[in-house]
A and B are shown apart, each in its own frame.
Chain A
Amino acid sequence: MEPLLCFPAVPPTAVTSVLEREGYPWKGVDRAEGADVDEPEDGWSGAVICTSADPAGAFALCRHLRAREVPLAPIVVVLPTGQLADLELREDLFDDLCIEPVNPDELAARLAHLFWRTGRGLRPDLLEHGPLVLNLETYQAAVAGKVLDLTYMEYELLRFLAARPGKVFTRETLLSRVWGYEYYGGARTVDVHIRRLRAKLGEEHAHLIQTVRSVGYRFGQTAWTP
């Protein structure tokens, strides 16, 4: 996840501690120019704007972020009760608000909700290859939309291979990289697991894992060979 833009450059600890606890990376910004100069390559994930210290600067920044070609969202405004009136006619500048003093659980819940709704933020890592999708966050694998019921080692083996398509691995490499611990199965275990994975992938997709004669295994297609 790309970082959240935070205002001011040093936001209140009550806010940053929530961001850190919940695993949101963030970066403090002082002025509108900073929002552009410091912007990460894939854009800010969103913004948390704390208005209490400098309300005018805070709302100017909000306006700047919303006026961009692709308006930034979501924006959360953190403000004391006394500044609630300042929100009038600025409804378009933020997506949600949180009252100071901050209740950490409330802020966490609002962030989680916003990022769920906008589909950004702590998005699960997906590993896709043709019809195969691995969700590294939830450990789930699906082929052509059908969820696979894998054991842990089958999942780990598939993940290892799918992350390195086209590359050939020997049984011993797979055993040491995927299993990595002493196992009753020995080196033939790899063959057994490959066979089980192919059975679960089903006839139609079993070819995703290819046997490379007298070497080992490869995931996915490789350059055309005669």
Chain B
Amino acid sequence: MRSQEEYVLRTVEERGIRFVQLWFTDVLGTPKAISITPAELENALDEGMTFDGSAIDGFSRVQESDVLARPDANTFQLLPWHGHGSAGGDVPVARVFCDILDLDGSPFQGCPRHVLKRTLGQAREAGFTFYAAPELEYFYFADGDPSHPPTALDSGSYFELTGADQSSDLRQQTVLTLEEMGIPVEHAQHEDAPSQHEIDLRYTDALTMADTVMTARLVVKELARRQGVFASFMPKPLAGVQGSGMHTHMSLFSGEHNAFVDADRPGGLSVVAEQFIAGLLHHAGEITAITNQWVNSYKRLVSGYEAPIHVSWAHNNRSALVRVPVIKEGKAESTRVEYRAPDSACNPYLAFAVILAAGLRGIEQEYELAPEADANLFALSVQDLSAKGIVHLPGSLHEALGAMESSELLADTLGDHVFEWFLRNKRAEWAAYKSHVTQFELDQYLPLL
């Protein structure tokens, strides 16, 4: 037995852990868990736990439905809201992330963690390590029952320094709990909309970060639930105010050095960085179905709420899809690219995988980067935009699926299993939405027609 596994078993014994949750993620990014007792753990670490995958979204197959969940011992962590820690609780519980395998031990093609690992493997072959730092936006709603209409918990706004209010307390408690779990938070703040908050996670390698996003979403929701509050990562829960994005800062490193930096070039951006951005822009339409995977995602990607709608890049223009933050003197190593399309309700494994794949393709094929968009794109007319050669992001899930379906890059990156299942599932979602008669239509048309 390797020492990681021994460490896990020993810690479980020493800390009197009563349950170990085996965490994994379905294709849509919904967290799943199998709870086992310490007695079963050794076997699970050794051989994996068999379970019927047919009930998991995106895991079903025609023939074999059994799959294995094998814990990644490196991700073993006590859950501070159980049994001890600042959030208090009942009996000690730990979690460990799992890879999903076929019964013969080979990676299961429907496992999102595997999709990301495979793409990270390609980056490594090209000599790069991929780092990501997402900004998670979400809302707190006063009623703990999501079947009731959402009501804001506070009426604060961007960076507001509010006094003792429940949502700021909750956010603080969440940050402390994340830190206790070894998830450093860059900063946290009140966002623009009432009851909207943001937690910026400090960069780490993309696989750990995808695990971290899953953990952070769960911690936000769980701590809110304990106070009868409902936390939501829905992309656009309230009409008329900003939606919840997951702007993601990214960089590629070669060894210890940031591959996006080239001090000898004007602006300090390397050729690799430019090609990476060009790749992102070139394939932006194709990856949008993954980074913005719900019907509701496209209600966020509209004009007037600081969400990107045009495929463009700029240094300091928040209407651009790709932003290259201006770096302070002497901080060249923190040079990075921010991709502003993803929303907080994406599957982080798949989102990071397709974003990375798009950027890598740009490097591989040496794409040319178009000039940066200096104007405020929201203010430009359709004619001006097309004169500048600027296209728009897909405006609906339907459009996004169309762009995805014809993308070789996406089929390669996701693999046939995920690619086909995702399209099928999302086509069904679109069909259900399309045939639905909305309140908007009743309000507008019934009195009139």
Contact = CB atoms under 8 A, between A and B. Distances in A.
B253 A186 contact: yes
B208 A152 contact: no
Given A192-B203, A196-B183, A186 B14 contact: no
A199 interface: yes
Contacts of A184: 117, 120, 124, 129, 205-208
A199 B255 contact: no
A139 B124 contact: no
Interface in A120-158: 138-140, 147, 149-155
Nearest to A155: B7
B74 A185 contact: no
Contacts of A200: 179-180, 182
A210 interface: no
A217 B131 CA distance: 21
Given A138-B10, A154-B182, A188-B131, A147 B256 contact: no
B180 A186 contact: no
Contact of B3 (A152, A171, A185): A152
A106 interface: no
B270 interface: no
Give the one of A186, A187, A192, A195 with max B CB within 10 A. Answer: A186
Interface residues of B, number: 38
A151 B78 CA distance: 9
Chain B CB within 10 Å — which of A184, A185, A189, A196 has the most? A184
B325 interface: no
B255 A186 contact: yes
B182 A152 contact: no
A172 B75 contact: no
B74 A149 contact: no
B227 interface: no
Nearest to A196: B182
B76 A152 contact: yes
Given A154-B182, A188-B253, A196-B184, A149 B205 contact: no
A116 to B, nearest CB: 16
B78 A149 contact: yes
A185 B129 contact: yes
Contacts of B8: 152
Interface in B3-42: 3-4, 6-8, 10-11, 14-15
Nearest to B10: A139
B182 A199 contact: yes
A189 B209 CA distance: 12
Interface string B68-83: 0000011111101000
Q: Which of A140, A189, A199 has the most CB of B within 10 A?
A: A199
16 contacts: A138-B10, A139-B14, A147-B15, A149-B77, A149-B78, A151-B76, A151-B182, A152-B3, A152-B73, A184-B124, A184-B207, A185-B129, A186-B205, A188-B253, A195-B184, A200-B180
